Amino acid sequence: MLRLGYKASAEQFGPNELLEYSILAERRGFDSVFISDHFQPWRHTGGHAPYSIAWLGALGARTSRILMGTSVLTPTFRYHPAVVAQAFGTLGAMFPERLILGVGTGESLNEVPALALAWPEPKERTARLKEAVALIRQLWSEPRVSFDGQYYRTDKATIYDRPKSLIPIYVAAAGPVLAKYAGQFGQGFICTSGKAPELYRDTLLPNVTAGIQASHRTPDAVDMMIEMKVSFDSDLGRATQDTRHWAALALSAEEKMSVEDPLEMERLADQLPAERAARRWIVSTDPDEHVERIRPYIEMGFRHLVFHAPGPDQARFLNLYADQVLPKLRAAFG
C-alpha cells in the first residue's frame, strides 16, 4: 500500500499554525503527519521550534484518521528514554493504532545548546540510540524494569499508561550501520530524498535488506519511509524561491559540522546561490514531472512518502498537491 504523508515543519511554523495545516492535510486526504523534534531551528530569523510531544497530543485530539509521529526525535540526550516511553505510552493510549515513534542519533544544533555537552562521536551516539530503543521497548513490555545499561539505568520503573499493542519505532539512518539496525529491529526506516542515487541504491537499501534478513522477517515488516523534498506551485519562480528558507539542507556535512547556533547556520545558508539551495528539492509546476521524479524512489522500494514543502503558504501547497499530484501518484503506484 502506498502511503502519502505531510511533513509538519516545526522549524518554520509556530504550533498553532502548524496544527491547522496538519488538520487540513487530513481533510485533503493525506495519510500521515510527521513532525520534527528540534530544540532550535535551522534559521534564527523567523524560526520556530515547538515541542513535538505536546503538539502530537493536540494533533491527535483534532484529527481522527491520520497516522502521526516524529521524524525524528532523539531519545538519548535532551530526553531520557524512560521519559520518552512514558510520553509515547500516554499518546499511544489516547490515540491507539495511530502513533509512530521515529528516532535518530541527533544533531548538535539541538542537543548541545540545551545541555552544554560535548557532542559525542557517531559511534557513541549510535550506541546510545540502540540502548535507548531497547529500554523503551522493555518499559512498554514489562511491568517493572530495572535496567543497567552503559548509558541509562532504571530501578523498578513502570509505565502505567500505555496502549495494548507496542507503538512502532521507525529508525532514521544516513549510513550503513543504522540502516541495517533499522531493518533488523525497527518497524520502519526513515531517510530523506535529494541525495546521490548511489547512497540509496548501494548503501542504505542493501543494509536495510540485510537487517531484515538477519531478523528473519519478511520485507513488508518494515515500512520504508522517505521524506520527499518537493516545491510545487503554478509559478516556477515562486516554487524556486520558496526553497531559500531551507538552504541549510544544501550545506555539506563538512560545511555544517559542529554548527550549534541557528544564527551561524543561517549565515552559512544565506551565502549559497539559489540554484544550490534548490538542489535537494523537486521544483516544478508540472504534476506529471513531480510523479516522474518521485517514481525512482517508489521503484527503489519506498512506499511511505512524506512530503516536505518549503514555502510559507502551506495551505496553498496542500490544496495544490492534493488536487494535482496525489491522485496521479495513487493511480500510477496504488
The residues assigned a catalytic role are 38, 107
Distance in Å from the first CA to the final CA of the chain: 7
Calpha distance 26→195 (Å, rounded): 28
Q: Are β-strands 145-148 and 153-157 bridged in parallel, bridged antiparallel, or unpaired? A: antiparallel
Calpha distance 270→248 (Å, rounded): 8
Query: Could you tell me if 152 and 82 are in contact, meaning their C-beta atoms sit under 8 angstroms apart?
Result: yes
Q: Are β-strands 145-148 and 188-192 bridged in parallel, bridged antiparallel, or unpaired? A: unpaired
Calpha distance 293→314 (Å, rounded): 21
How many alpha carbons lie under 13 Å from residue 248 in its C-beta half-sphere? 22
Nearest to 11 by CA among 65, 55, 57, 61: 55
| Per-residue burial over 275-307, b = 16 or more CB atoms within 10 Å of its CB, e = otherwise | eebbbbbbbbbebeebbebbeebbeeebbbbbb
| 3-class secondary structure, 160 | coil
